[in-house]
């Protein structure tokens, strides 16, 4: 049958998403990005800078030397394999390291060097001779805090006098302790307790306050409130820095509330385009037929690596099984996996250990695997009402700007309903999706 109901199998219960789910999704996505990211994201876009004082000169650096970092820190930067500042670091670093300290709201997609930038700023501003907290860094989850902590440790490798401590729920300290560490990194609730209730931290002595992953943070009302309460305890001259990968209106409102007298740096995300993609569709009548068509395609053309998207976990699991039986090396990315497991699967796929990655959309959002030349929509992306999800379609198969290699996208259609979805996607992008006859596949190569 056709209709939205046919697209949603019972393994995805149609429950409303709670605020907590939404935050978990975002946090998991962000963590996954960090775990699988090994280099900077390439950007061709220019940063946009909005200075608080438009008359003050705007500095931008092309090398780390120009920043006059402490030698131990410069050593740390080079030990991490950084040769030159990333696009966002070129302007953000001089601004964050200026005297007097400048406040900053910065937005750029994940992988553009934000974390490295604020870690360097924190390490530069601490006085290692003072054995008390001087920098606070707030993250939405324990796992994300740990990732940032690792960067602090790597970059500060040659600066052992600077120590860090995690303000996270599991970390129970003796009541009367005064912290010796100069950098405290943690989640908003525990951080607030450590400042207010337990007084492990004297907020008046804080010189740098960092709010990381603001878009994930604000997904929870409690986190917003806690962050604001921490911020209010800090001295007037404390440097406030806020980072976010995305900037919806709500993030923006929060940022402006929590960071006074701010400068703004924005780096637009690289646009995705369908211009370098050949799009096809295959007409079938059932999922078995779709599988057969897929086998025909594999028999006819050489596919280095492919990603196959299914609507539900159940279909993804079934398809992965069928493909393995056909002798393919298949990786399956599934919703019930832990973020670390997912990262491991993606890493193996990126290393070419498997040639096919079968996944549902939830798991693979935001993953870009450059060598993937073929994307197969085993099910077309639809939202919960059964309408075409154009954004997801673009995201699955689109390539970024000028670097984009040519790609191939194949859409599997198995009902009137999905044919309609396909037509609407085609109209939306105003780009023809050609019909492919899988019994005669000469045309696609
Ligand atoms: P973001 O916080 O925006 O997600 P990160 O700071 O985590 O970005 O940087 C993304 C990746 O790029 C990390 O692997 C990081 O080590 C690396 N990286 C950051 N800055 C540089 C640089 N200047 N040169 C080379 N690699 C860098």
- List ligand 1's pocket residues with C-beta within 6 A: 37-40, 80, 82, 85-86, 89, 110-116
Residue 7 is predicted with a pLDDT of 37
Residue 370 is predicted with a pLDDT of 67
Q: How far is CA 121 from the centre of its chain?
A: 22
Residue ranges of the alpha helices (H) in 126-259? 142-155, 188-196, 214-217, 221-233, 249-258
For residue 35, the SS3 value is: helix
How far apart are the C-alpha atoms of 261 and 112, rounded to whole Å?
24
Q: Which helix (H) or strand (E) holds 330?
A: strand 330-333
Residue 5 is predicted with a pLDDT of 38
Atom of ligand 1 nearest to the CA of 37: 14
Residue 272 is predicted with a pLDDT of 80
Tell the residue nearest (CA) to atom 16 of ligand 1.
Answer: 39
How far apart are the C-alpha atoms of 294 and 211, rounded to whole Å?
47
**DSSP-assigned states of every residue in 264-329:** EEEEPPPPEESTTEEEEEEE-SSHHHHHHHHHHHHHHS--S-EEEEESSHHHHHHHHHHHHHTT--
Q: What's the DSSP call for residue 423?
A: H
Atom of ligand 1 nearest to the CA of 110: 4
pLDDT tens digits for 339-366? 888 888 988 888 889 989 999 877 666 5
Atom of ligand 1 nearest to the CA of 85: 23
Tell me the two tokens of residue 80: 């991490």
Q: 309 CA to middle of ligand 1, Å?
A: 29
Q: 85 CA to middle of ligand 1, Å?
A: 9
Q: 371 CA to middle of ligand 1, Å?
A: 21
Helix/strand/coil percent split, the chain, to 5: 40, 15, 45
Burial status of residue 355 (CB atoms within 10 A of its CB: 0-12, 13-18, 19 or more) = middle
pLDDT tens digits for 72-83? 999 999 999 999
User: Do the Cβ atoms of 48 and 265 come closer than 8 Å?
Assistant: yes
Residue 364 is predicted with a pLDDT of 66
For residue 169, the SS3 value is: coil
Beta carbons within 10 angstroms of residue 132's beta carbon: 15
Residue 6 is predicted with a pLDDT of 36
Tell the residue nearest (CA) to atom 23 of ligand 1.
Answer: 85
Atom of ligand 1 nearest to the CA of 89: 23
For residue 411, the SS3 value is: strand
Tell the residue nearest (CA) to atom 10 of ligand 1.
Answer: 111
Residue 265 is predicted with a pLDDT of 97
Residue 409 is predicted with a pLDDT of 92
Q: 114 CA to middle of ligand 1, Å?
A: 7
Residue 342 is predicted with a pLDDT of 87
In a mutational test of the pocket of ligand 1, which residue from 38, 43, 111 has the highest number of ligand atoms less than 8 Å from its CB? 111
Tell the residue nearest (CA) to atom 9 of ligand 1.
Answer: 113
Q: 329 CA to middle of ligand 1, Å?
A: 32
Give the pTM.
0.84
Tell the residue nearest (CA) to atom 12 of ligand 1.
Answer: 40
User: Do the Cβ atoms of 415 and 286 come closer than 8 Å?
Assistant: no
In a mutational test of the pocket of ligand 1, which residue from 77, 113, 266, 269 has the highest number of ligand atoms less than 8 Å from its CB? 113
Positions in the chain whose pLDDT score sits under 70: 1-17, 363-371, 400-405, 441-445
Atom of ligand 1 nearest to the CA of 116: 6
Rg (CA), the chain: 24
The ipTM, to two decimals, is 0.99
Mutual orientation of helices 114-125 and 71-79 as an angle, nearest 10°? 160
Atom of ligand 1 nearest to the CA of 109: 3
């Amino acid at each position: 049958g056709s209709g939205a109901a046919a697209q949603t199998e019972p393994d995805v219960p149609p429950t409303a998403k709670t605020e907590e789910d939404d935050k978990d999704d975002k946090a998991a996505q962000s963590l996954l990005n960090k775990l699988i990211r090994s280099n900077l994201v390439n950007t061709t876009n220019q940063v946009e800078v909005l200075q608080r004082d438009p008359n003050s000169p705007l500095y931008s650096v092309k090398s780390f030397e120009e920043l006059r970092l402490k030698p131990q820190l410069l050593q740390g930067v080079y030990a991490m394999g950084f040769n030159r500042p990333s696009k966002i670091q070129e302007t953000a670093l001089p601004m964050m390291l200026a005297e007097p300290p400048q406040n900053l709201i910065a937005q750029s997609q994940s992988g553009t060097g934000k974390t490295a930038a604020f870690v360097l700023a924190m390490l530069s501003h601490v006085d290692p001779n003072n054995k008390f907290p001087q920098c606070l860094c707030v993250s939405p989850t324990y796992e994300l805090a740990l990732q940032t902590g690792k960067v602090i440790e790597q970059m500060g490798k040659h600066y052992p006098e600077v120590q860090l401590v995690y303000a996270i729920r599991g970390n129970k300290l003796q009541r009367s302790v005064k912290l010796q560490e100069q950098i405290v990194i943690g989640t908003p609730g525990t951080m607030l307790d450590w400042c207010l209730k337990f007084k492990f931290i004297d907020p008046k002595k804080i010189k740098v306050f960092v709010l990381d992953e603001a878009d994930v943070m604000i997904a929870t009302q409690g986190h917003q409130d806690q962050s604001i309460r921490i911020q209010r305890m800090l001295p007037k001259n404390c440097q406030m820095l806020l980072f976010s990968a995305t900037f919806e209106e709500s993030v923006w409102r929060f940022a402006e509330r929590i960071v006074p007298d701010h400068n703004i740096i924005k780096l637009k995300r690289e646009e995705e385009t369908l211009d370098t993609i050949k799009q096809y569709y295959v007409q079938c009548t059932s999922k078995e037929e779709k599988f057969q068509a897929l086998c025909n395609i594999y028999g006819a053309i050489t596919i280095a690596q492919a990603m196959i998207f299914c609507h539900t976990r159940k279909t993804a699991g079934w398809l992965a099984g069928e493909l393995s039986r056909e002798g393919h090396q298949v990786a399956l990315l599934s919703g019930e996996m832990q973020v670390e497991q997912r990262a491991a699967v993606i890493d193996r796929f990126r290393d070419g250990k498997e040639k096919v990655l079968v996944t549902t959309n939830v798991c693979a959002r935001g993953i870009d695997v450059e060598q993937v030349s073929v994307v197969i929509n085993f099910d077309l992306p639809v939202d919960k009402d059964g309408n075409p999800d154009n954004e997801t379609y673009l995201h699955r198969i689109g390539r970024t700007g000028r670097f984009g290699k040519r790609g191939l996208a194949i859409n599997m259609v198995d009902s009137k309903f999905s044919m309609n979805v396909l037509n609407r996607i085609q109209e939306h992008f105003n780009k023809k999706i050609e019909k492919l006859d899988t019994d005669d596949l000469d045309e696609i190569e």
